[in-house]
Chains A and B, each alone.
Chain A
């Protein structure tokens, strides 16, 4: 589609509301030592100093975000209050180019969908470019009365808030426009990175942010998503159209590390390992995370029809080899410089069949596994072109594909159970598998119309709405509505893995697999049979993965490629050689001397602080850690019957109940009693291991031991005990 306005028109319509000049501080050992504060209500712009305590306790990235947000909001602040902030920070390692997966930004805000602190990890160039422009974080508070762009000119030490009336809202257009607008010429586009959202973020609570990077081979901007928790909705509520940073200060040593040689050595080792092993292992360079689709179906883990089932014969229509053909091959697709794992695949020249851009040929980033499973199989959709189209529109409209998939699947199950009908959906036939209806629902979200507006509130609010307005059975909706803490589940069936049920529901931000993915260890390998074993895994892995978010790192190079001798190590699931790589990277950048134990302690501080943050916002206790039963076991007779042999065997061998003579309904009930009790026992074990009391509140001695017993933290904890 032709852009309505030329770049010249867009540019001349900009009005500078505030200009701020500064001297960019060079990065030293991973930190510039300064952060940027922007208030859109008052147009105040100022610089804050990064203290040694911030570095020691919160490290960077998600830690900096949580600390700033903690100080910005009270327990009464809601997501759409001007006090709420959006904080973006890359962390000290973020921006190195020697080691794959080191360019991530962490975004933190109060979430519209959970009401508490949300963190989201995203690629693209914004975070590192911002750091090389002199800032370890940007903190945006307040709300603009009219649409604005915030521009950081790192080369000239200038920050502006600009009224921006003519740019588009949808990301695939505005990111191109802003890139062109702020680049000096075509070659300079590589030096510009942007953040934007989209129209649907304005009308739903599941808005996401797109972080761009300029792809010089494709001559277009690519988009990576900070997907979870509705931060795009906060962004548009603040009337931000875009954030832009431009810098030419992008060198291999822009982080000015303490030990460049150590980074080089560690990086070269992993590059060689990827080169040797990726084609034999996960095929990340040709298939991205979509390599998991048929594997998840083989292991009964692929969500089908709102997580009722874990596999489907049609899953092969969306298998890795299908994506390999659709993705353009032979282009090094890294979402930051130096990432040779290069999983950021794209479908080029995809012709859209629906919506406002019908007929246009576009670049579609992904789809990644979560998207294929979310907007695909979870909704009973197995048509790869429909998945690509849904992926494109979710991205450009600024909607999280995971939440969109899970909430659409929930609405579909309600439709099939006649809880809602065409009357309530405005004529949408929301049967499983109807991709046209799913696409129309998405277009309605972008237009702020019809059932799209209802669905866009997310699963938790849809449940309340259906009970209130359509007399739905609240218990059934609670069982099948795949959300916990208000956040929609990501795309793995956890019914057969008790540890993963905890991996989802015992998270700080809500059920997202980036804290812990323990299904194979638990369900397939039988390596963590006791509650204590599972609790240990639910201590270590969430903390290990939290560390990536403190440092601006991608999780994938940790365990989606592995050294040949990894099987011979003591703890292959941890990939010990790679853990040591991360210790070396941190020490190499910062000059500190941590070991692998301290690495976990660093995360433990931030993780417990985030738990207390939840307490501050009125969550963070045991009742918020309980999953919907669909995540734990078969809700319906249909689900039980579909895996009858497995469940009958489990009833007999694990629960000590003979299934003979019992009706399916009775068996479902008995199975539920057994599994729910198991889950509660798991919670007890995990709380104990984490140093929390039986309510799930961190004990005072835990806070003290971690040196986060700050006065206001202790006060909140004491008030909740």
Chain B
């Protein structure tokens, strides 16, 4: 199990950041991904595997309107 923006989500093996964003339907371009407090660079989204138990923040910057 991991937590994404304070909501529980089932973890599975080989879960990349890109995959996670797809599952959550987080398609907004201006986001910051932090895993256990550390920012993951956009260029790492494909490679970076989310560990079980991770606390993930996907911070959406405002845009809109």
Segment from A19-27, A160-168, A417-425, A555-563 that makes contact with B:
A555-563
6 A–B pairs (Cβ distance < 8 Å), ordered by A: A283-B29, A520-B64, A521-B60, A559-B62, A560-B63, A562-B61
Known A514-B65, A525-B59, A559-B61; contact A294-B27, beta-carbon cutoff 8 A: yes
Given contacts A567-B59, A572-B32, whether A298 and B25 have CB atoms under 8 Å apart is yes
8 Å CB contacts to A: which residues of B38-65? Answer: 39, 42, 57-65
Give the residues from 527 to 559 in chain A that come closer than 8 angstroms, CB to CB, to chain B: 527, 541, 555, 559
**Minimum distance in angstroms from B42 CB to a CB of chain A:** 8
B13-53 Cβ-contact flags toward A at 8 Å (1 or 0): 00000000000011111101000000100100000000000
Q: Is the CB of A282 within 8 A of B65?
A: no
**Of B6, B28, B42, B58, the contact of A295 (CB 8 Å cutoff):** B28
Interface centre among A295, A566, A572 (most CB of B within 10 A): A295
- Cβ of A526 < 8 Å from any Cβ of B? yes
CB–CB B63/A492 < 8 A: no
A513 and B61 alpha carbons, distance in the complex (Å): 16
Residues of A within 8 A of B62 (CB): 517-518, 520-521, 541, 559, 573
- CB < 8 Å: which of B6, B27, B28 contacts A520? B28
Closest Cβ of chain B: how far from A176's Cβ, in Å? 31
Q: Kindly identify which residue among B30, B58, B65 contacts A281, using a CB–CB cutoff of 8 Å.
A: B30
Q: How far is the CA of A527 from the CA of B61 in the complex (A)?
A: 11
> Could you tell me the distance between the alpha carbons of A492 and B63 in the complex, rounded to whole angstroms?
13
Name the distance in Å between B10's Cβ and chain A's nearest Cβ.
Answer: 15
List 7 A-B pairs, minimum CB-CB distance, nearest first: A520-B60, A513-B65, A517-B65, A567-B32, A517-B64, A298-B25, A298-B27
A387 interfacial by beta-carbon distance below 8 Å: no
A524: Cβ under 8 A from any B Cβ? yes
Q: Given A292-B63, A567-B39, 17 more contacts at CB 8 Å? A: A280-B29, A282-B63, A283-B29, A295-B28, A298-B27, A299-B25, A299-B27, A513-B64, A517-B65, A520-B63, A525-B58, A526-B6, A541-B62, A562-B30, A562-B61, A568-B39, A573-B61
Bin the interface of chain A by size.
20 to 34
In the complex, chain A residues whose CB is within 8 Å of the CB of B63: 282, 292, 517, 520, 559-560
Interface size, chain B (Cβ < 8 Å): 20
Kindly list chain B residues whose C-beta atoms are within 8 Å of the C-beta of A295: 27-28
Kindly supply a per-residue 1/0 record for chain A positions 51-64, scoring 1 wherever the CB is within 8 Å of any chain B CB and 0 otherwise.
Answer: 00000000000000
Residues B61 and A566 in contact, CB atoms below 8 Å apart: yes
In the complex, A337→B26 CA distance in Å?
Answer: 35
Write the nearest CB–CB distance from A187 to chain B, whole angstroms: 38
| Complex Cα–Cα for A510 and B14 (A) | 48
**Residue with the greatest number of chain B CB neighbours at <10 A, chosen from A294, A525, A573:** A525
Q: Residue A575 at the B interface, CB < 8 A?
A: yes
Do A527 and B65 form a contact, CB below 8 Å, given A298-B25, A299-B25?
A: no
Identify B64's interface contact among A280, A519, A568, CB under 8 A.
Answer: A519
Interface mask (A291-303 → B, CB under 8 Å = 1, otherwise 0): 0101100110000
Q: How far is the CA of A518 from the CA of B62 in the complex (A)?
A: 7
A315 vs chain B, min Cβ distance (A): 12
Chain B residues near A292 (CB-CB < 8 A) = 63-64
Inter-chain CA distance A441–B11, complex, in Å, is: 52
CB pair B25–A520 under 8 Å, yes or no, is no
Please classify the interface of chain B as helix (H, G, I), strand (E, B), loop, or mixed, using the class held by over half of its residues: loop
**Which residues on the A side are within 8 Å of B39 (C-beta)?**
567-568
B-contacting residues, A278-313, CB 8 Å: 280-283, 292, 294-295, 298-299
Task: Give the residue among B25, B29, B39, B58 with the most A Cβ atoms within 10 A.
Answer: B29
CA distance A156 to B62 in the complex (A): 46
Once A568-B39, A573-B61 are accepted as A-B contacts, the answer to whether A524 and B27 lie under 8 Å apart by CB is: no
Judge whether A282 and B5 touch: CB under 8 Å. no
Q: How many angstroms between the C-alpha atoms of A283 and B64 in the bound complex?
A: 13
Q: Which of A589-634 contact B (CB under 8 A)?
A: none
CB neighbours (8 Å) of A572 from chain B are 32, 59, 61
Q: Which of these, B30, B60, B64, contacts A492 with CB under 8 Å?
A: B64
Q: CA of A227 to CA of B64 in the docked complex: distance in angstroms? A: 18
Complex interface: chain B residues within 8 A of A518 (CB): 62
Q: Chain A residues near B32 (CB, 8 Å)?
A: 567, 572
Q: How far is the CA of A280 from the CA of B6 in the complex (A)?
A: 27
Nearest Cβ on chain B to A578's Cβ, whole angstroms: 11
Within 8 A of B (CB), among A248-296: 280-283, 292, 294-295
Complex Cα distance A605/B57, Å? 36
- In the complex with contacts A524-B60, A567-B32, A567-B59, A492-B65 CB distance below 8 A: yes
Quote the shortest CB–CB distance from A459 to chain B (angstroms): 20
Distance A526 CA – B42 CA, assembled complex (angstroms): 22
Give the nearest-CB partner of B5 in chain A: A526
* A residues 383-432 in Cβ contact with B at 8 Å: none
- Distance from B20 Cβ to chain A, minimum over Cβ atoms (Å): 14
Closest A residue by C-beta to B6:
A526
Q: Shortest distance in angstroms between B52's beta carbon and chain A's nearest beta carbon? A: 22
Q: Are B61 and A575 in contact (CB under 8 A)?
A: yes
CB-nearest residue of chain B relative to A503?
Answer: B65
Which residues of A (484-532) have their CB < 8 Å from a CB of B? Answer: 490, 492, 513-514, 517-521, 524-527
Cβ of A560: which chain B residues have Cβ within 8 Å of it? 63
Separation of A517 and B61 alpha carbons in the complex (Å): 11
Interface-central residue, B26, B27, B28, by most chain A CB under 10 Å: B28
Q: Which of B30, B59, B64 is A527 in contact with, Cβ under 8 Å?
A: B59
CA distance A525 to B28 in the complex (A): 12
Residues of B within 8 A of A520 (CB): 28, 60-64
Q: Which residues of B contact A524 (CB under 8 A)?
A: 5, 26, 58, 60
Chain A residues, Cβ within 8 Å of B27: 294-295, 298-299
Once the chains are docked, how many angstroms separate the CA of A363 from the CA of B35? 47
Which single residue of chain B is at the shortest CB-CB distance from A518?
A: B62
Minimum distance in angstroms from A264 CB to a CB of chain B: 27
| Whole-angstrom distance between the Cβ of A457 and the nearest chain B Cβ | 26
Q: Please give, as numbers and ranges, the residues of chain B lying within 8 Å of A514 by CB-CB distance.
A: 65
Distance between Cα atoms of A686 and B57 in the complex (Å): 27
Q: How far is the CA of A554 from the CA of B37 in the complex (A)?
A: 34
Q: With the chains together, A562 CA to B65 CA distance in Å?
A: 16
B28: chain A residues within 8 A (beta carbon): 295, 298-299, 520
Contact indicator B60/A282 (Cβ below 8 Å): no
Instruction: List residues of chain A with CB within 8 A of the CB of B5.
Output: 524-526
Chain B contacts for A513, CB-based, 8 A: 64-65
Across the two chains, which residue of chain A brings its CB closest to B34?
A567
Residues of A within 8 A of B42 (CB): 280
Q: How far is the CB of A101 from chain B (nearest CB, A)?
A: 14
A654 to chain B, nearest CB (A): 13
Question: Cβ of A492: which chain B residues have Cβ within 8 Å of it?
Answer: 64-65
Indicate the member of B27, B59, B61, B65 with the most A CB atoms within 10 Å: B65
How many angstroms from the CA of A295 to the CA of B30 in the assembled complex?
A: 11
Using CB atoms, name the residue of chain A closest to B60: A520
Q: A282-B30, A568-B39, A572-B32 are in contact. Are A525 and B57 (CB under 8 A)?
A: yes
CB distance from B28 to the nearest CB of A (A): 5
